[in-house]
Amino acid sequence: MAGTNVHGAIHRKSSGDRPSRTEGNRAPPLRPRDLISALPDDVVRRIFSFLPLEDVVKTSVLSKRWQSTWTTTNHLVFHGFHGLRRHNHGTYTFDFPSLVDSVLIRCTSPSVKSFHITHFKYDEACCPKLDLWLRFAEACRVEDLCLVLITGLQFLYKLPPFLYCLSWLVRLEVGLCCFSLSTTIRWPCLKVLLIEYSELSDDVLERIVRGSPVLESLELHWCRGVKNIIIDSTSVKELVLIGDRFSNTEKIWAPHLLSLRLSGRLSSVFRLDDISSLVEAKIDFDVPGDMRMCCDLLTKLFEKLRKVPKIIIGGWCLQILSVLEMKGVLSPLSNCQNLILRAQVCQWDLPGIAYMLQSSQCLEKLVIHLTDLSLLKFAVDKESEARFNFDEEDLLCSRKGNFQCLAKHLKRVEITGFANSFGSKHLLALIKFLLGDTLELEKMIIKADLHVQHGQKRLETADLSKVLSVSRNVLSYRRASQNAEVIFKFPCK
Amino acid sequence: MASSRKITLRSSDGESFEVEEAVAVESQTIKHMIEDDCADNAIPLPNVTSKILAKVIEYCKKHVDASKAEDRVNDEDLKAWDAAFIKVDQVDQATLFDLILAANYLNIKSLLDLTCQTVADMIKGNLFPVRNEWLNFTFSIANRELVLVCLTEWVAHRRLFCS
């Protein structure tokens, strides 16, 4: 907040009416660039942080005074976009490394808040250059460092040793790099760490956690080499794990973790060993293997998640729960109060929803995000398939007695994305059931995004009238709770 | 008990505004003043006029109310409200800049980000006219070339690969 403040000066000039062109002796209206010139330096730098770097450099043409203001920017974000050189059309000679060099040479700011190099096409020859850029970042006490490369999996960039001891680093994101096996890691201020497509190992991960005493959020996307995630630090609150078929994480042990998100493809022998402090879990993954193995895995998983008050479940997992439900497996009673499902609500999902309704005895809020995808990622055997030919109303009504949450706790239901599958009989049956049997329901909010479908110019009248007639039907369903409000929201784009 | 306390803020032109403490502490500056016990009487804000202070209070009130409400759907409504709040045409640019200075002085991060983003969008959209003649004689050769690259090739390259 230190810095020039010409607040009074601005008011003196801009008070009064807009001067007309004929009056020559009135002061001319303040030009926009004079207004920005009146802002204190740190505000100008903040404005620069919202602009792509080329626009920041372009401000040097605004006026003489602005010629080198851009060099004070402390937000250096470079997007390589494959850094191609094209000569065939004559004029095109984009050279990313030279551009970065030219900018870095001119930067005068002693400290750089953000330094990002993304989509940089990397090969062995660039290694010294990249090292040099990172040295620059280190010298400028960078707080937010992002290095996401484009390279083959065999040519990962080896992070230089000085990178493991950055004292001011608060946020680090690396992609397609590899970590040294023996250097000590010391990031005393690091709060957020995101590693993508990189080679790690259990040992490296342990050193990272040990060297980052205030680490709060750890994200591993599509990383290879980590079998056991062991986090005994009390500062780490959030862990996000996105796997693919190369990832082989098998075990998570993190007794102080508060939030866990699992997506993508995980290993078939994946398990949670200790997550006793967890308050939020997102389970949106799938696992290769036969039906029995998947059911087994999910049964054990939900056994561990019994105390978690907020659970988010994605399509594949919900469908495995459906299989469990149709097999007659009893769901463990849980403390879940806030349940969010991403599902299509078709016949493959409904039993899974029943499974969760029975398990979550104190459920207060249920949110369903309707998805477009038809998820049947597993092959159902003939016997199970036969079980799925049920009548949706029968299914729900027959289990009504087990749904304790409906009697006392469930107060709020939200359904979004409704227009994608409005009219689906399973969804309507679910809504009808919930309205008719939830005794303490206060609000049911149904939000239909009325997007124009592919190929259409505008919303068809037929679509609109269908939505309206479905809404009218829903509003006419019997409600168990006298105070229940049913609200439809139709945001149009 | 503390949440229902009223705080009086006085603008540079002498007008007093009474606000709830929860709204007032959206400003880190005011929050520190309260914590340091300087807030028994009215808090003087010599850098902020009443016109701007009224708008700042309107913004803070809306954001405090929005954070209380339970609906998650309020995120989009709040963004729409912010957009309408900050909408400027040529006449009101002075207000925008006064708001920036006030948000900076009062240390209200969300308002500062909102206003700075708006200015950044104006720069990006070239609402600030660029004086091309500067390119010819103001710069040293090296600087001129860098700016030229930024003006032409880099932007074109991004458009090619970015969309």
How far apart (Å, rounded) are the C-alpha atoms in residues B113 and B126? 20
The model's pLDDT over B14-41, given as tens digits with 9 standing for 90+, comes to 999 999 999 999 999 999 988 888 767 7
**Cα dihedral sign, A190-A195-A198-A202:** positive
Closest CA to B25 of B65, B60, B66: B60
- Tokens for A308, please give them: 């978690």
For A321-358, what is each residue's pLDDT tens digit? 998 988 888 889 999 999 999 988 888 888 999 999 99
Model confidence pLDDT, tens digit, residues A286-307: 888 888 888 999 999 999 999 9
Candidates A11, A54, A69, A150: best to mutate against B (most CBs of B within 10 A) is A54
**Crossing angle (nearest 10°) for helices B93-106 and A41-48:** 110
Mutation target among A12, A55, A413 for the B interface, most CBs of B within 10 A: A55
Residue of A nearest to B121 (CA): A51
- Quote the minimal CA–CA distance from B124 to chain A in Å: 7
Kindly report the nearest CA distance between residue A61 and chain B, in angstroms: 6
Of A11, A82, A447, the CB nearest to B161: A82
| Nearest chain A alpha carbon to B104 | A1
Q: How far is B147 from chain A (nearest CA, A)?
A: 6
List pLDDT tens digits, range A173-229: 999 998 988 889 999 999 999 999 998 999 999 999 999 999 999 999 999 889 999
What rounded mean pLDDT belongs to chain A? 83
In this structure, are strands A157-158 and B6-10 parallel, antiparallel, or unpaired? unpaired
Q: Is the dihedral of CA A472, A477, A482, A485 positive or negative?
A: negative
3-state secondary structure of B68: helix
Q: Is the ipTM of this complex over 0.90?
A: no
Give phi and psi for A241, each to the nearest 5. -125, 115
Among A93-107, A111-125, B36-50, B140-154, the least confident range: B140-154
Nearest residue on chain A to B140, judged by CA atoms?
Answer: A67
- On whether the CB atoms of residues A56 and A46 are closer than 8 A, the answer is no
Contact call for A52 and B158, based on CB within 8 A: yes
Given a cut of 50, is residue A473 above it in pLDDT? yes
For residue A83, the model assigns a pLDDT of: 41
A17-49 burial, b at 16+ Cβ within 10 Å, e below that, comes to eeeeeeeeeeeeebebbbbbbbbbeebbbbbbb
Nearest residue to A54 (alpha-carbon basis) of B65, B157, B73, B117:
B157
Are B120 and A491 a contacting pair at CB < 8 A? no
Which pLDDT tens digit goes with each residue over A404-435? 888 889 999 999 886 666 668 888 889 999 99
Give residue A2's pLDDT band: very low, low, confident or very high (50, 70, 90).
Answer: very low
